[in-house]
Amino acid sequence: MCGIVGYVGGQSALDVVVAGLKRLEYRGYDSSGVAVLADGGLAAGKKAGKLVNLEKELVGRPLPAGATGIGHTRWATHGGPTDANAHPHLDNAGRVAVVHNGIIENFAVLRDELAERGHELVSETDTEVVAHLLAESFSSCGDLAESMRLVCRRLEGAFTLVAVHADEPDVVVGARRNSPLVVGVGGGEAFLASDVAAFIAHTRSAIELGQDQVVELRRDEGGSGGVGGAAGVSVTVTDFHGAPAEVRSYRIDWDASAAEKGGYDYFMLKEIAEQPKAVADTLLGRIDSGGSLTLDEVRIPDSVLREVDKVVVVACGTAFHAGMIAKLAIEHWTRIPCETELASEFRYRDPILDSRTLVIAISQSGETMDTLMALRHAREQGAKVLAICNTNGSTISRESDAVLYTHAGPEVAVASTKAFLTQLVACYLVALYLAQVRGSKWGDEVRGVVRELSAISGEVERVLETMEPVRELARSLARKNTVLFLGRHVGYPVALEGALKLKELAYMHAEGFAAGELKHGPIALIEDDLPVVVVVPSPRGRSVLHDKIVSNMQEIRARGARTIVIAEEGDEAVVPYADHLIRIPATPTLLQPLVSTVPLQVFACELATARGNEVDQPRNLAKSVTVE
Ligand code: F6R
């Protein structure tokens, strides 16, 4: 939530910052703003609405050229999306500018204190207090990094802050607590950003920041580069009390083109198309020459995994749906009881956890606050936490006992697609690995599933080649108000995922149900010509499941529903009950979501486009949800 960029170097800070914000706009797009240090002063511009509004504003009212600057794209928490509430926020003298992601919980007390001391605050945000507090501290210590440390010690809540001061024109300072911030360094320049996508076009050398740390980027011509810096710029990291912190540098393995649309109209379309590769990449290096699994990254010893007597999966939204499928795979292949729980609910019910519980936290961004809090709670109770994560160096991956990275590459569209499929692959890998280590499946059985998993990327490709009728169907339904989704077993989470995609993109009433539940209430919703998507399990798996869903189709059709049936090739039993039939390749029962989800992604994307909605940036949403 909220995208932040800071820059010190030799180029136009405005150009670098605005280009960085474009790459971070997926994080929030209620308003945006920039501040640049130039000519001994500070100049800022900000505007409600999308970044394009700010760009227009800057054409009409250009800022002076400078090589130090900060920027922000906002997802509103405190105060509506207005010009006044847009970041950066300045102190009364206009010498300090600050941008912020997160929530400062004690802002009301701080604001009252500032008002008593004569400060005039002009926005409804929690952020503005920080600009005023920084200005006060700076006037006594004359050092922006030290001011930031002093201020951070007074703040409660979660925050990333990035600030500049007109009296230190070569410096940008950042701080983080429970909210993301990474440093990029290279070529005499340094960057701060919520996500590496903001600076990947300039450098692939990054530095991770830990919790409760302050970082100072300083233009330092002729300097050695300082801790983690490079010639021409120094990077200094301390804790909130000024003690030097150890830094970990790493190389970003995404290239700049991965964060571009690459000829597609939307990132979402590109990301849907990238799924075969993302699935294959997530398997890379995890299968040995004999076809068994080698998950070296899972640094939890096999002896500990053998002792696990319960697995709990925690995640939110789409990642939660991946977790629901993980439960079915884990229980089936390992016979270990597994629960999947919404991360936002998990710790509040006082879950029963101990050292024999394995908690799997699934998160694309690695920054989702609900999931982070759930895993912290689990670790406090002595459970081991394995993260399935797409973002190197993210907070969730750093705070877990082990991480299995999904290799989806950057996912920019707010609606998750390729991350979901790779999360599924990672869940299958974990489930099979547990089965391998514990011997709950024979080696040849594990190798058999691994072979089937390795073939899935090609099947996803095949599904993508047959999507034109799905797009046509989606366009024909653009004026409908409601679409229901039904599934059983692994098809149930897929139904929920199909409904979630449609809600967030098309802003339609879309609901997913376990097909068996229909007669317990939701069947009352069925009326003439209501589109109902039915995800049919493989008839080659548990035939009873298949037969039951065929009955469910008959029940809803008898009441007027228009059925849109997703069924595997060769499943003829569904034909008489399908008003529209979407074929998917035959796969093993548990792996079907890897192919059955794809048409639902395409369906939602096309329907949203037909309704004239913004596909990559749906209203009210942000990609990385860093508040609880
Ligand atoms: C839906 C979507 C969200 C995320 C959820 C968790 O398309 O993208 O539901 O799946 O906010 O995000 P991560 O995976 O980053 O923890």
Alpha helices, DSSP H, located in 294-348: 302-307, 317-334, 343-346
Q: What is the mean pLDDT of residues 611-621?
A: 88
Does the pLDDT value for residue 225 go beyond 80?
Answer: no
Question: Which one is predicted more confidently, 69 or 349?
Answer: 69
For ligand 1, atom 9, the nearest C-alpha belongs to 317
- For ligand 1, atom 6, the nearest C-alpha belongs to 316
Contacts of 443 (CB under 8 A, 6+ apart): 292, 436
Question: Other C-beta atoms within 10 Å of 264: how many?
Answer: 14
The pLDDT of residue 468 is 97
Kindly state the average pLDDT of the residues 84-107.
Answer: 94
Closest CA to 31 of 58, 6, 51: 51
Q: Which of 270, 593, 339, 599 is nearest to 453 (CA)?
A: 593
Superfamily of domain 261-464: Glucose-6-phosphate isomerase like protein; domain 1 (3.40.50.10490)
Question: What is the H or E stretch that residue 57 is in?
Answer: helix 51-60
**Residue of 247, 70, 250 lying closest to 165 (CA atoms):** 70
Q: What digits encode the pLDDT tens for the residues 429-479?
A: 999 999 999 999 999 999 999 999 999 999 999 999 999 999 999 999 999
- Kindly report which listed range (42-56, 254-268, 481-495, 523-537) carries the lowest average pLDDT score: 254-268
> Given a cut of 60, is residue 227 above it in pLDDT?
no
What is this structure's pTM? 0.82
pLDDT in tens, 165-182: 999 999 999 999 988 899
Residue 611 confidence (pLDDT) above 90: yes
Query: How much is the pLDDT for 500?
Result: 98
pLDDT of res. 237: 96
| pLDDT for the residue numbered 230 | 63
d(CA 465, CA 485): 23
Report the atom number in ligand 1 closest to the C-alpha of 365.
15
User: For the chain, where do the domains classified as CATH 3.60.20.10 start and end?
Assistant: 3-257
Question: Which pLDDT value is given to residue 158?
Answer: 86
Predicted local distance difference test score (pLDDT) of residue 299 = 80
Which CA distances in Å does 381 have to 8, 344, 358, 373? 43, 17, 11, 13
Q: What is the pLDDT averaged over residues 583-588?
A: 96
**Ligand 1 centroid vs 321 CA: distance in angstroms?**
10
Higher pLDDT, 403 or 298: 403
Taking residues 51-63, report their average pLDDT.
Answer: 93
pLDDT recorded at residue 4: 95
Average pLDDT, the chain: 93
Give the bridge partners for 183, in sequence order.
Answer: 192, 207
Query: Tokens in use for 431?
Result: 């489930």
The pLDDT assigned to 11 comes to: 93
Q: Inform me whether the pLDDT recorded for 543 exceeds 90.
A: no
State the average pLDDT over residues 132-153: 97
Share of the chain above pLDDT 70, in %: 98
How far does residue 27's CA lie from ligand 1's centre (Å)? 12
Q: Tell me what pLDDT residue 261 has.
A: 79
Rounded to the nearest angstrom, the distance between the alpha carbon of 186 and the centre of ligand 1 is 32
The listed CATH number (2.60.40.1110, 3.30.70.20, 3.90.226.10, 3.40.50.10490) that belongs to domain 468-610: 3.40.50.10490
pLDDT of residue 294: 87
442 CA → ligand 1 middle, Å = 35
CA dihedral in degrees (330, 332, 338, 340; nearest 10)?
Answer: 70
* Strands 31-38 vs 68-74: parallel, antiparallel or unpaired: antiparallel
Task: Write down the pLDDT at residue 223.
Answer: 54
Asked if 604 and 498 touch (Cβ cutoff 8 Å), the reply is yes
Residue 247's pLDDT band, with cuts at 50, 70 and 90, is: confident
Residue of 27, 271, 346, 416 to test ligand 1 pocket, by largest number of atoms within 8 Å of CB: 416
Residues in contact with ligand 1 by the CB-under-6-Å rule are 316-319, 363-365, 368, 371, 415-416, 500, 504, 624-625
Residue of 320, 625, 626, 627 to mutate, ligand 1, most atoms within 8 A of C-beta: 625
- The closest of 582, 583, 591 to 541, measured between CA atoms, is 591
**Closest ligand 1 atom number to CA of residue 415:** 7
Catalytic positions, written as ranges: 2, 623
Task: Give the pLDDT score at 228.
Answer: 56
Average pLDDT score over residue span 326-354: 95
Outline which parts of the chain fall under CATH 3.40.50.10490: 261-464, 468-610
Q: Answer yes or no: is pLDDT of 156 > 60.
A: yes
Q: Ligand 1 centre from 440 Cα, in Å?
A: 32
Whether residue 461 contacts residue 421, with contact meaning beta carbons closer than 8 Å, is answered with no
pLDDT confidence of residue 226: 52
What ligand 1 atom has the least distance to the C-alpha of 423? 14
Tens of pLDDT, residue by residue over 298-327, are 888 999 999 999 999 999 999 999 999 999
| Dist. CA 416 → ligand 1 center (Å) | 6
Our mutation pick for probing the ligand 1 site, out of 316, 391, 414, counting the most ligand atoms within 8 A of Cβ, is 316
Whether 195 has a pLDDT exceeding 80, the answer reads yes
Q: How confident is the model at residue 405 (pLDDT cuts 50, 70, 90)?
A: very high
Q: What are 21-40's pLDDT values in tens digits?
A: 998 887 778 899 999 999 99
Contact 33, 189 (CB under 8 A): no
Helix or strand or coil: residue 199?
Answer: coil
The CATH number that domain 3-257 falls under is: 3.60.20.10
Which pLDDT band, with edges at 50, 70 and 90, does 619 fall under?
confident
Ligand 1 atom index nearest CA of 414: 8
Ligand 1 atom 7, closest CA: 415
Q: Does the structure show a pLDDT above 90 at 622?
A: no
